[in-house]
Amino acid sequence: LMLYVVKIKDKDATGYILLPIKKRSRVPGVTITQFVERLPAGKSTPDFARKPMTTTVQEGKKAFFKAMVSGEPPPTVTWARNKGEMDDQEKYSTRYDERAREHVLEIVNVKPEQADNYRCFATNEYGQAVCAVTLNVVEVHLEFKNYQSFKTIKPKSRYLLLSLFRTVATRKKQLPQQKEGEIDPKLLELLLSAPKKDYERICLEFGVTDFRWLLKKLKQIKKEREDEQSKVVENLDNIKQIEVKPSGRAEFSFNMKLRDPNSEVNLYKDGTLIPYDDDKNSKHSLQKTGINYLFSIKDPQREDAGFYQVDVEETNVLTTDFQVPDVEFVAKIKDSKVTENEDAIFQCVLSTPLNKITWSKEDVSLEHGGKYEITISEDKLTHTLRIKDCQMADKGAYYAIAGITSSSASLTIQGTLSFFTKKYCCLSIIKYKLNLIFIQGLQKLSENVKMVNNQISYDVKESRSCLNTFFLSLSHCQNADRGAQFVRGLSDVNAKVGERAELSCKLNSETSEGRWYKNGKLEDGVKIIKDGACHILMIECCKKDDTAVYRFEAEGRKSEATLNIHDPPRLDPDALGEFANPVIVRVGDNAEWKLPFSGGAPMNIQWYKNDDKLLPAVNVKIDTSDTESQLRLTKCQRKDTGEVKIKIKNEFGVIEAVSRLIVLDKPTPPQGPVEIIESAVTSVEFKWKPPKDSGGCPVTNYIIERQQVGRNKWTNLGEIPCTPNYKDTDVDPGRRYCYRIRAKNAEGISDYLQTGDIPAGVLRYPGPPTAPKVASAFKDCINLSWCPPCDTGGTKIMGYNLEKNKTGTNYWSLVNQNGPITDTKHAVKDVFEGAEYRFRVSAINLSGAGEPSIPCEAVIARNPKMRPRFKDRNMKTLMVVKSGNTIRVNINFEASPMPDISWVKDGIPLLKHVTITNSDRGSQLLIPTSERSDSGIYTITVKNIVGQESFSVEIRVTDDPKPPGPVELEENIPGTVTLCWAPSPDEKRDDRLHYMVSKRDSFKHTWRTAADNLFNNKFTVVNIMPGREYYFRVFAKNDMGLSPPSESPFKVDMPQMKALDFESPPSFIIPLKRHTAPEGYECYMSCAVKGDPAPRVTWYHNNISLNTNTNYHITNVCGVCSLLILRVGPKDNGEYKVIIENKLGNAESSMTLNVRGKL
């Protein structure tokens, strides 16, 4: 920072102090001091994102202060107290928690003298932020000041000791009583510790049938409870609610890892502290094994029923409800005896309906699902336990426990018959059937015998049939004894788990029976099909343990094959569908994914989050068993939102499942700065920016609070929709107000954004604007502009009223009938041409329209005065028209007022056959049928009161030229030929007419131009080669084109001549001619000279040499000397002279050029 003192005086000699800049933080109670005047781009002063909170602790315990700071560069955090130093590191410990991004001050073993006001400083090079916090200490008057020695006392003795002191709370804070129409607080406490599968049962016990609406409130309470528990407990899981065991004890357990192993664990019943011991024979005992805590109640009675809670220090970690219903067994469970692989059923009937009873086997509680199926009748009196697919390991004693009453029964499992026992039974059955067939055959044979004439006779045909049947049956039995033959044996089969597999073989006899075996044993539970001689073993849904060697035996014959089951990873569709649902949690909550799977071992399981591998860490817990994998992300943050994927792989394949994590939180505060849109007498309107982070769900409302400056009360103005602006219509004029804005979404309410002081306006009208200025005026429109008033009345100018007054009247009419004019300029179109008007304007603000301005000067509705000006920049100055054609000349101009227009030709008025048409924008000259006499310079003059402007155009009316007269040879000089011809008849009527000469010789046989732009009737052709024939043509030429040629009637055949001396003094063959040219046009003059050696030619104008003047184009081609003036002006008037000279002499020729001025 630099301080400049301009014009130093004696009084400036003093000390100067640089005052720091004080800023307001968005967090109340935080003061920010800025060290520099301007912050560099991307830098900021320190601030508190979350300041420490005042806390009250008991003497001898720990106190924590936590702060989150922000700033760029990151600030340094220091701590201080008002009454003492903090140098003792054994008492005061500071650290930075990178995971939570918190600066922590820890005070170990708090003493009463440490109760004080503490300050936290956040400092960087651009500023400092500071806030204050208070530590309150509750003094404990105990004899056992040494806390560690007090801990060594047994819990039961410690309880008795504590009951002697009034300062120890033997009762914890009671839950509030249930109010009519509200939820029982006990219900919420039980749901916090119960697994989700028990939510419905617990709600039904409290009479709540629709518990889904409780989930949102339960999530919020659970988040707060877990935040409290995290201060004393590092991990808490595997919670089992209280239930009565077959041993007669009521037990509940949980796994808990304490942050401080010396933390006190208390047991409460209905809010009253209960002493417990580690002796199992005591009434209440605690058995701790590692991190597992097992609380038990010996010989529970009805008076032991109640609401049990376990607290660590003062934080609740578990709640369970021990109920002892008045119930008896009307029908107890009975012993069951089943065969192996069959289902066993135990059933009991109660005297009182119960939602649930406890089924157990040898102190192990049985849960519904998998092996066990537990059902309850509609009247809740009959409870049934089904044990599926009983095995030898399932035998034993089973218990049904209702309240503190129990019933027991035993399950006996019978094994299946052995192979030899079954074979013996089969052979006995075969022997019995053979005896039966033999007896039946004899009976049929005796029936066919008849007494005829006291003699025995029988039906031979029927008897023979019976005997055949008997012996055929006997033959079959004998064949069975010999054994069947395999036509097609078994073949190895490969199949996947869950698919169908078939093993088939074919015998030579359709009547043969056989038996299937698996790994040498008889196999049941599969589908066996016999189709004639084909025997099929079908497994509809293959399992992993179906892999085996299968054997089919029939009458002593056997065939074996192997069934190989491939077991790739598989996922249950229901579990996969549930896993695919996004997991939505709040910030700081834990997110869990659990996915059961099946497949052949070994399994390779990997979890991913946003395509990054997840490895076990502090906040990443991965538990994997043979059939299930579980991922748990603890203390999720908003940045953890993304895709979660699990990949399961084994030797038979790979499978993936994808889910999504959505972390919800309350939104961040709305963003400033707050912009004041309106500050009127009766309303104040302002707007802000939405929160930077909506918390994962849309912002539904904004909550507005208002405080009148000078008062302490904040008034809630209610909630508004998600539009980030607000208009407060309930304000008093002249008052100043301050507002707090909070954003709200489905997860909660953000911190507030506080505005500065916003004043409400008073009834002040704006001052008069400046007098309107006439920007431009036309016959149908007048453009006005003005400046806003200096005094706006303290509010925004909403628009303007414009009034007009016609000179000669006293009535002012409003111009803007459709509403105020929002701009400071306006085009008034409702005017009459030639009328005179005055205008005035008044400003409008929220209070209304103010005083009108001073009227402007009178203005007439007419176009502004303008000097005539031609619009076309590239107008033609020359027009060549063929005789007989129409001449039409259009001249466009603009002028105001309407100008006078006049046309002249060569300075004289136009003839009658020329038609002139005029308008306010242009003029047209028309000659329907042109003649050569119409050639000339036409000039238009446009004149009004402002000025005048003229323009001239030359019109040449001509026709195709007529050919010149016959061509004659005037001289025949060696090496040259001079041609002469009679002039064309049009030469006198067309001053633009000239001649062109072309020649052709006998060598090239092509016509070439020998000369052009000849304004005389003679031309000398040079470079004539001896011995060649030459032919010549002469053309007349004008602006329309060429005439037919006049050809030479003879040919020139130059004889061979001897060389002669041609030296001669210079002379003029054709002298200069007098010229008259109009101003602004070109002038061409020429002469022909001769002499040997070739003379030097010099041009003079008024005796001044022109050879070096670039305004003249001088050429000398084969003795023809030309001078071209591109644009003739008055200065070109005078005498022009040509002087030629060589070593033999000199000669001169002169002429006078007259320049015609413009008309």
Q: What is the CA radius of gyration of the chain?
A: 62
pLDDT tens, 76-92? 999 999 888 888 888 89
Q: Does domain 671-759 have CATH number 2.20.25.10?
A: no
Model pLDDT, residue 1057? 57
CA distance 1090 to 1093: 9
Q: What is the CATH number of domain 866-958?
A: 2.60.40.10
What average pLDDT score do residues 27-39 get? 86
Low-confidence winner among 146-150, 366-370, 532-536 (lowest mean pLDDT): 146-150
Model pLDDT, residue 19? 57
pLDDT class of 182 with cuts at 50, 70, 90: low
Model pLDDT, residue 602? 80
What average pLDDT score do residues 3-28 get? 58
In eight-state DSSP terms, residue 508 is: S
More confident residue, 521 or 640: 640
In the chain, % of residues over pLDDT 70: 85
CA distance 958 to 994: 14
Model pLDDT, residue 813? 93
Model pLDDT, residue 1059? 63
pLDDT tens, 650-674? 877 888 999 999 988 888 999 988 8
CA count, 13 A, side-chain hemisphere, 848: 5
Model pLDDT, residue 1149? 93
More confident residue, 715 or 313: 715
Token pair, residue 817, equals 């009938």
Model pLDDT, residue 839? 95
Counting beta carbons within 10 angstroms of the beta carbon of residue 588, is it exposed (0 to 12), middle (13 to 18) or buried (19 or more)? middle
Task: Inform me whether the pLDDT recorded for 477 exceeds 50.
Answer: no
Spatial neighbors of 1097 by CB under 8 A, at least 6 apart, are 1089, 1116, 1121, 1138, 1139, 1140
Contact assessment for residue 916 and residue 923, using Cβ atoms and an 8 Å cutoff: yes
Buried b (16+ CB within 10 A) or exposed e, 437-476: eeeebeeebeebeeeeeeeeeeeeeebeebeeebeebeee
Token pair, residue 667, equals 């939104």
CA distance 1114 to 1106: 9
Spatial neighbors of 165 by CB under 8 A, at least 6 apart, are 141, 142
Task: Count the helix, strand and coil residues of the chain and give each as a percent rounded to the nearest 5.
Answer: 10, 45, 40
- Strands of 1064-1070's sheet in order across: 1064-1070, 1083-1092, 1120-1125, 1112-1117
DSSP per residue, 201-224: HHHHHTT-S--TTHHHHHHHHHHH
pLDDT class of 591 with cuts at 50, 70, 90: very high
Model pLDDT, residue 180? 58
pLDDT tens, 1035-1049? 999 888 888 998 876
Task: Inform me whether the pLDDT recorded for 424 exceeds 80.
Answer: no
Which pTM was predicted? 0.29
Distances (CA, A) of 1077 to 164, 938, 991, 1129: 142, 16, 11, 9
Contact assessment for residue 936 and residue 952, using Cβ atoms and an 8 Å cutoff: no
Task: Inform me whether the pLDDT recorded for 420 exceeds 80.
Answer: no
Q: What is the CATH number of domain 570-661?
A: 2.60.40.10
Model pLDDT, residue 173? 53
Model pLDDT, residue 451? 39
What rounded mean pLDDT belongs to the chain? Answer: 82
More confident residue, 1008 or 28: 1008
Task: Inform me whether the pLDDT recorded for 819 exceeds 60.
Answer: yes
Question: In terms of DSSP bridges, do strands 55-58 and 127-138 run parallel, antiparallel, or are they unpaired?
Answer: parallel
More confident residue, 281 or 467: 281
pLDDT tens, 251-287? 888 888 888 877 888 888 887 888 887 777 788 888 8
Token pair, residue 722, equals 């998600």
Spatial neighbors of 995 by CB under 8 A, at least 6 apart, are 964, 981, 984, 1011, 1014, 1015, 1016, 1017, 1019, 1034, 1035, 1036, 1037
Instruction: Detail the DSSP E strand segments found in 479-610.
Output: 486-488, 493-496, 501-507, 515-518, 521-522, 527-531, 534-539, 548-554, 557-566, 570-571, 583-586, 591-598, 604-609
Would you tell me which CATH number, out of the four given (2.60.40.10, 3.90.930.12, 3.30.930.10, 3.30.70.100), belongs to the domain 1061-1159?
A: 2.60.40.10
Per-domain residue ranges of the chain? 18-138, 171-322, 329-414, 428-475, 570-661, 671-759, 773-860, 866-958, 1061-1159
More confident residue, 165 or 320: 320
Model pLDDT, residue 546? 83
CA distance 808 to 836: 9
Task: Inform me whether the pLDDT recorded for 8 exceeds 90.
Answer: no
More confident residue, 337 or 417: 337
Token pair, residue 354, equals 């119960």
Q: Residue type at 204? A: L
* Element spanning 1032, H or E: strand 1029-1038
| Residue 600: strand, helix, or coil | coil
What average pLDDT score do residues 551-561 get? 85
Task: Inform me whether the pLDDT recorded for 438 exceeds 60.
Answer: no
Instruction: Tell me the sheet residues that pair with 657.
Output: 646
Task: Inform me whether the pLDDT recorded for 368 exceeds 80.
Answer: yes
Task: Inform me whether the pLDDT recorded for 1066 exceeds 60.
Answer: yes
Residue 1155 CA to its chain's centroid (Å): 82
CA distance 662 to 586: 8
Long-range contacts of 625-628 (CB under 8 A, 24+ apart): 626/601, 627/596, 627/597, 627/598, 628/594, 628/595, 628/596, 628/597
CA count, 13 A, side-chain hemisphere, 1082: 11
pLDDT class of 435 with cuts at 50, 70, 90: low
Model pLDDT, residue 168? 39
More confident residue, 887 or 300: 887
pLDDT class of 939 with cuts at 50, 70, 90: very high
CA distance 392 to 1152: 149
Contact assessment for residue 405 and residue 244, using Cβ atoms and an 8 Å cutoff: no
Model pLDDT, residue 1068? 93
Q: Which residue from 47, 96, 46 is spatially nearest to 751, judged by alpha carbons?
A: 47
User: Backbone phi, then psi, for 988, in 5-degree steps?
Assistant: -75, -25
Task: Inform me whether the pLDDT recorded for 497 exceeds 90.
Answer: no
What average pLDDT score do residues 316-341 get? 85
CA distance 369 to 388: 10
pLDDT class of 54 with cuts at 50, 70, 90: confident
Model pLDDT, residue 784? 94
In eight-state DSSP terms, residue 171 is: B
Model pLDDT, residue 1101? 92
In the chain, % of residues over pLDDT 90: 27
| Greatest mean pLDDT range, 4-8, 183-187, 461-465, 849-853 | 849-853
DSSP per residue, 30-79: -EEEE-SSSPPTT-EEEEEEE----EEEETTS-EEEEEEEEEESPPEEEE
CA distance 653 to 608: 19
CATH fold, domain 171-322, is Immunoglobulin-like (2.60.40)
In eight-state DSSP terms, residue 953 is: E
Which CATH superfamily hosts domain 773-860? Immunoglobulins (2.60.40.10)
Q: Does domain 329-414 have CATH number 2.60.40.10?
A: yes
pLDDT tens, 899-935? 999 999 999 999 999 999 999 889 999 999 999 889 9
pLDDT class of 440 with cuts at 50, 70, 90: low
Shared fold status for 671-759 and 773-860: yes
Model pLDDT, residue 462? 46
How many residues does the structure list for the chain? 1159
Model pLDDT, residue 178? 61
Angle at 388 between CA 386 and CA 394, to 5 degrees: 95
Count Cβ atoms below 10 Å from residue 384 Cβ, excluding itself: 16
The top-level CATH class assigned to 18-138 is mainly beta
